[in-house]
Amino acid sequence: MSHAGGQIGKGIRAAYSAESPVSWVKIPAVLDATVPSFQADDIDITTHDTSGKLKKSIAGLVAVGDVTLTCLGDFKQGDVAAYSALTNANRLGTILWFRLEIPADTTLTLFKVYEYLVTVKTASDRSPIAGRQEVEFVLKFSGDDIGIYYDQSSAIS
Amino acid sequence: MTIEEKVYALLAAAAGVTALVPAARIRPPGNWQNLALPYVVHFPLAPDPTETHEGRQPLTGWTYQVSCFADLYSHARAVGIAVRDALEGYHDGVHFRWTDHIHLFEPDVGTAGIHQAVEQFDVFESLSSPL
């Protein structure tokens, strides 16, 4: 299989669900989003029997990186239910389902999908004197596993 | 309405500006060297649209330049100040923030040269549709 040659990252979609079975609520106007990362701990298993001067390691437990969503701000009450819901979830420590879709083709019909449980670690508003208003949410992995699915249609509208 | 039309409407309605420059001499870029002094030329520079992952949003930023031409430094300066006072702030959902003033003098234009007070603004407007 050959490399597709690359494409720009525009077209990410994000959504949450407070219920299961899920009913996805779109998180709109995403300016920037970080994608979950996975980093394993280093477990040193170097012993006196290890040959040469090289250390030896195995992979330990995996830490899931936080997702940061930066969205165009809208602070009028009732305009964007998703922002209020995520802010309330931050205050209450509510666990939510989260879905992140990364475009996998240039027609934005196929996506690589991450789906897992999160808590809202940070919810913050920004209103700079000379710039656009923004809201930022940091989402922390709070489940037992992450579903990663390829070539999926979008479930977010 | 384009941003140029919005700026013209604000300047033409500002008594402080029209006391110095009649509305008919507030123009977008063109061949205006035969216009009587003082006159004003205004135009947008460097659009800064807001793009989200779902597409371009109505919020658009501009750098906007208003050039005030006059026979004397004091006249050009006075027009520039009047323009700044007319545009600075919020007007019908468009935010103007005055950011810079530059003065230029071209000695070889006309019989005694021409002074140009350049007033620059950061402008943020919400468009009904993207550019």
What are residue B81's phi and psi, to 5 degrees? Answer: -65, -40
Spatial CA neighbour of A139 closest among A64, A32, A50: A64
- What letter does residue B19 receive in the DSSP assignment? T
Q: How confident is the model at residue B128 (pLDDT cuts 50, 70, 90)?
A: low
Q: How confident is the model at residue B45 (pLDDT cuts 50, 70, 90)?
A: very high
Rounded Cα distance, B40 and B25, in Å: 6
Tens digits of residue pLDDT in A1-25: 788 889 999 999 999 999 989 999 9
Instruction: Retrieve residue B91's tokens.
Output: 């007007």
pTM: 0.87
Q: Does A71 touch chain B (CB under 8 A)?
A: yes
Mutate to test the interface with B, among A72, A102, A127 (most CBs of B within 10 A): A72
- Residues in chain B with CB shorter than 8 Å from the CB of A132 are 50, 59, 61, 124
Rounded Cα distance, A98 and A64, in Å: 14
Q: What are the start-end ranges of the H helices in chain A?
A: 81-92
- Mean pLDDT in residue range A114-129: 97
Spatial CA neighbour of B78 closest among B98, B101, B53, B109: B101
- Mean pLDDT in residue range A27-51: 93
Instruction: Retrieve residue B99's tokens.
Output: 């950011």
Rounded Cα distance, A121 and A67, in Å: 10
Tens digits of residue pLDDT in B25-36: 999 999 987 899
Instruction: Retrieve residue A95's tokens.
Output: 């666990």
- Mean pLDDT in residue range A39-68: 93
* Gyration radius of chain B's alpha carbons: 16
Rounded Cα distance, A139 and A98, in Å: 9
- Mean pLDDT in residue range A30-57: 92
Residue B127 has pLDDT above 90, yes or no: no
Give the pLDDT confidence score for residue B33 in this predicted structure: 77
Beta carbon pairs, A and B, within 8 Å: 29
What value, to the nearest 5°, has the Cα angle with vertex B59 and ends B55 and B60?
Answer: 100
Give the pLDDT confidence score for residue B131 in this predicted structure: 43
Q: Does A31 touch chain B (CB under 8 A)?
A: yes
Dihedral angle over CA of A8, A9, A10, A14, nearest 10? 170
Rounded Cα distance, B2 and B127, in Å: 9
Give the pLDDT confidence score for residue A77 in this predicted structure: 86
Residues sharing a CB contact under 8 Å with residue A76, sequence separation 6 or more, in sequence order:
none
Q: How confident is the model at residue B130 (pLDDT cuts 50, 70, 90)?
A: very low
Give the pLDDT confidence score for residue B111 in this predicted structure: 85
Residue B129 has pLDDT above 70, yes or no: no
- The 3 state secondary structure assigned to A121-137 is EEEEEECCCCCCCEEEE
Is A29 within 8 Å of B57 when comparing Cβ atoms? yes
B88: left (phi over 0), alpha (psi -120 to 50) or beta: beta
Dihedral angle over CA of A40, A93, A115, A30, nearest 10? -100
Residues of chain A with pLDDT > 90, as a percent, come to 89
Q: Compare CB distances from B50 to A11, A28, A132 and report the shortest one's residue.
A: A132
- Mean pLDDT in residue range A37-64: 92
Mutate to test the interface with B, among A7, A13, A27, A31 (most CBs of B within 10 A): A31
Is A33 within 8 Å of B53 when comparing Cβ atoms? yes
Query: Are the C-beta atoms of A56 and A45 separated by less than 8 Å?
Result: yes
Give the pLDDT confidence score for residue B32 in this predicted structure: 86
